């Protein structure tokens, strides 16, 4: 029989006795031993019996379990041991075996099978609040006495703590999400002596996507598992140990055991993974190929492992956020390679850049000339793990066909090419080794050059002109084209096999005329770069803004940049007016309208609204009036979207 003398400040000592083999201790009323102590967690510890011995194990309470003033994770109790939970002292007393009768101090129900659940959300929050608990020297050195090692050597607390510290050290030094999950899964399964398991993440619709798995029977195929366990772990945020063999009735986990028995699984555990208090994934393991089924102590241990995985993923996401902010700050500081965008189209482009940057996937960029494909390629490189290595750019259409191969592949020493050093020359492919090669206007390459690029991608080696021995290269290729490469493939001027090697991940840049929200922010950015080099802040007049918004921009961002530079140079004051703009822009200025002042004003407001896609905030900025004034004039002049007007009233003049 388990017996404690319980002492709490300001209360009389009392006795607790139980004949249960498993006793849960905590503040929650469902616990077997309920402690009314605010420093005790709702589920704080568990006491188990084995071969006549009692063990106390910490299950992730906010405050650690202390035995005889030493912090422990798992401890063999002996006569007179003083266990401190929060501010409550439990004095352990040896007692003979009592009758299998009533529990004199319990408040919970006995576990009918081997199943159990743990409030994983609380234990995760506790571990997050006390991240140094695993690094405490007192934790490791003060857990187990030498004479106890023979009793708990197999799964003892000292070994578990060493595993947890090594596991934490392993995964916290990995900054790539997929590598982190792979390392975490294999380390967790090895430490639990498990052959089958996976880490899965839930998609937006709640569907489970298995990101990394171990399944010796079919390593590459789908792994079988109990969906009922996964669903409950997701819905309730609890860590579950389910024992199918012992399920004679409704289990403590509340699950049907038939699916486990059909899979020949005796026991399984499912541990939720948290992000911002929400379950976003699970760690799942089962005992196929394991000599013994899981015990409750395995559940507590695996729960801490899963919590460490959560913390590592949080750290990886924070690292990615800091890295992006660092890149942004550097580009702002140097005022170059900065991605300026407010339109939904370009926000989606930025999202895709962040998604692909961390991988070595080949990227194909498409868009009209001047839309910023070179800037986008640099953004992918700057956010990748290759950012400290070279970024090499080649404009395939700007180099004569006979010289492009020399530029790309280089030549061997002694190769007889006019104007080339006899000692040989490294091509752009070799210069980009370890980094990124950007092939702009890739459809400008000859078919022969395309074949050699394809060979380089397949062999990961470059053949210099005049050489038969390839030189190994490790690089990422980003390609760009002003027209759809698929059209070039149909016209037989671009190799189909190379096309499919390049289009692994595509990003399309919309022309500037289709994302007019970006015109004024881009113009202001170009002005801010110029004012640092020359004079103070320069602004655009309302009419200048209107002309910029109305222009069709066939040259896209490059043309806008050149127009702003010219206007800046010919203007003298702090404002750029229409007369400072190039002739191409001023030709967009319509002849002076005739009619009353109110008619002219109504026409002008309608044109501005149309130029900004009826975004009234942007229109009020262009017009230089308050938004409330704009709303009043729209009401006064009965201005509506053109498609909503009846025939004959398209001019927007007041009725």
pLDDT tens track for 432-458: 999 999 999 998 888 989 999 998 888
Q: Using N-to-C axis directions, what is the helix angle for 296-334 and 120-129, rounded to 10°?
A: 50
Q: What mean pLDDT comes out for the span 96-110?
A: 34
Residue 66 has pLDDT above 70, yes or no: yes
Do 454 and 551 fall into the same domain? no
17 vs 74 pLDDT, higher one: 17
Q: What mean pLDDT comes out for the span 353-374?
A: 90
| Count: domains in the chain | 5
Residue 45 domain-assigned? Answer: yes
Q: What letter would DSSP give residue 536?
A: S
Do 255 and 355 fall into the same domain? no
22-26, 266-270, 398-402, 519-523: least confident range: 398-402
CA triplet 76, 77, 81: central angle to 5 degrees? 135
Q: Return all residues near 439 (Cβ < 8 A) that are at least 6 apart.
A: 394, 396, 445, 453, 477, 478, 479, 480
Do 163 and 266 fall into the same domain? yes
Name the percent of the chain lying above pLDDT 90.
19
Do 347 and 469 fall into the same domain? yes
pLDDT value, residue 644: 40
Residue 329 domain-assigned? Answer: no
124 vs 151 pLDDT, higher one: 124
Residue 226 domain-assigned? Answer: yes
Do 351 and 484 fall into the same domain? yes
Q: Which helix (H) or strand (E) holds 620?
A: helix 616-623
Residue 400 has pLDDT above 90, yes or no: no
Query: What is the domain range of residue 197?
Result: 158-317
The 3-state secondary structure of 472-493, one letter per residue = ECCCEEEEEECCCHHHHHHCCC
pTM above 0.85, yes or no: no
pLDDT value, residue 90: 93
The 3-state secondary structure of 36-84, one letter per residue = CCCCCCCCCEEEEEECCEEEEEECCCCCCEEECCEEECEEECCCCCEEE
Residue 248 has pLDDT above 80, yes or no: no
Q: What letter would DSSP give residue 335?
A: T
pLDDT value, residue 176: 66
Do 380 and 281 fall into the same domain? no
Q: Return all residues near 343 (Cβ < 8 A) that are at least 6 apart.
A: 510, 515, 516, 517, 518
Do 446 and 578 fall into the same domain? no
Do 605 and 565 fall into the same domain? no
Do 211 and 311 fall into the same domain? yes
pLDDT value, residue 144: 34
Residue 245 has pLDDT above 60, yes or no: no
Do 461 and 350 fall into the same domain? yes
Question: Is residue 120 a contact partner of residue 272, using CB atoms and an 8 Å limit?
Answer: yes
Do 283 and 296 fall into the same domain? yes
Q: Using N-to-C axis directions, what is the helix angle for 157-172 and 177-192, rounded to 10°?
A: 170
Residue 419 domain-assigned? Answer: no
Residue 11 domain-assigned? Answer: yes
Residue 450 domain-assigned? Answer: yes
> Which backbone phi and psi does 7 adopt, to 5 degrees?
-125, 130
Distance CA 170, CA 34 (A): 37
* Closest to 33 in 3D by CA, of 104, 81, 92, 95: 104
Residue 147 domain-assigned? Answer: no
For the record, the structure tokens of 425 come out as 């020359």
- Specify the CATH number for the domain of residue 603: 1.10.10.60
Do 352 and 463 fall into the same domain? yes
- Specify the CATH number for the domain of residue 361: 3.40.50.300
């Amino acid at each position: 029989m388990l017996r404690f003398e319980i002492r709490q400040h300001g209360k009389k000592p009392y006795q607790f006795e139980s004949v249960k083999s498993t006793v849960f201790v905590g503040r929650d009323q469902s616990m077997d031993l309920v402690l009314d102590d605010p420093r005790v967690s709702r589920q704080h510890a568990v006491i188990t019996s084995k071969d006549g011995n009692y063990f106390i194990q910490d299950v992730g309470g906010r405050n650690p379990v202390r035995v005889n003033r030493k912090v422990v994770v798992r401890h063999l109790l002996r006569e007179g041991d003083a266990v401190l939970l929060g501010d409550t002292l439990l004095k352990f007393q040896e007692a003979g075996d009592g009758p299998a009768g009533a529990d004199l101090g319990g408040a919970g129900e006995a576990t009918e099978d081997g199943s159990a659940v743990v409030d994983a959300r609380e234990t995760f929050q506790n571990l997050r609040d006390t991240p140094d608990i695993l690094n405490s020297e007192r934790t490791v050195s003060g857990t187990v006495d030498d004479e106890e090692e023979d009793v708990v050597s197999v799964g003892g607390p000292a070994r578990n703590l060493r595993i947890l510290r090594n596991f934490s050290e392993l995964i916290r030094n990995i900054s790539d999400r997929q590598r982190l999950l792979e390392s975490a899964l294999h380390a967790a399964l090895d430490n639990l002596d498990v052959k089958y398991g996976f880490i899965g993440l839930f998609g937006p619709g709640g569907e489970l996507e298995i990101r990394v798995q171990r399944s010796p029977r079919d390593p590459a195929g789908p792994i079988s598992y109990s969906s009922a366990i996964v669903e409950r772990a997701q819905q309730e945020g609890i860590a579950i140990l389910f024992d199918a063999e012992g399920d004679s009735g409704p289990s403590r986990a509340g699950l049907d055991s038939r699916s486990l028995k059909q899979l020949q699984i005796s026991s399984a555990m499912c541990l939720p993974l948290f992000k911002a208090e929400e379950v976003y994934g699970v760690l799942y393991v089962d005992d196929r190929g394991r000599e013994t089924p899981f015990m409750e102590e395995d559940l507590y241990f695996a729960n801490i492992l899963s919590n460490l995985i959560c913390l590592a993923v949080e750290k990886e996401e924070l690292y990615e956020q800091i890295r992006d902010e660092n890149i942004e700050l550097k580009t702002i500081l140097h005022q170059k390679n900065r991605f300026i965008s407010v339109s939904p189209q370009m926000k989606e482009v930025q999202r895709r850049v962040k998604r692909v940057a961390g991988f070595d996937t080949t990227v194909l960029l498409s868009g009209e000339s001047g839309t910023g494909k070179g800037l986008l390629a640099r953004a992918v490189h700057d956010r990748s793990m290759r950012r400290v290595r070279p970024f090499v750019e080649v404009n395939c259409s700007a180099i004569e066909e006979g010289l492009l191969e020399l530029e790309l592949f280089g030549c061997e020493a002694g190769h007889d090419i006019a104007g080339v050093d006899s000692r040989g020359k490294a091509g752009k492919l070799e210069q980009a080794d370890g980094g990124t090669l950007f092939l702009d206007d890739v459809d400008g390459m000859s078919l022969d050059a395309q074949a050699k690029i394809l060979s380089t991608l397949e062999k990961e080696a470059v053949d210099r002109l005049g050489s038969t021995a390839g030189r190994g290269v490790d690089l990422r290729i980003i390609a760009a084209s002003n027209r759809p490469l698929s059209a070039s493939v149909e016209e037989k001027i671009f190799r189909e096999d190379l096309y499919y090697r390049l289009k692994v991940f595509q990003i399309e840049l919309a022309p500037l005329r289709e994302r007019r929200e970006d015109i004024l922010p881009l113009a202001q950015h170009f002005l801010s770069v110029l004012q640092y080099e020359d004079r103070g802040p320069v602004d655009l007049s309302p009419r200048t803004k209107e002309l910029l918004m109305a222009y069709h921009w066939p040259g896209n961002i490059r043309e806008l940049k050149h127009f702003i530079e010219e206007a800046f140079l010919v203007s003298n004051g702090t404002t750029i007016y229409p007369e400072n703009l190039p002739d191409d822009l001023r030709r967009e200025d319509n002849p002076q309208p005739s009619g009353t002042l109110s008619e002219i004003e109504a026409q002008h407001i309608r044109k501005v609204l149309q130029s900004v896609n009826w975004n009234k905030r942007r229109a009020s900025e262009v017009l230089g009036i308050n938004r409330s004034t704009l709303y009043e004039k729209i009401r006064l002049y009965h201005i509506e979207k053109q498609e909503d007007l009846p025939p004959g009233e398209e001019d927007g003049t007041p009725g």
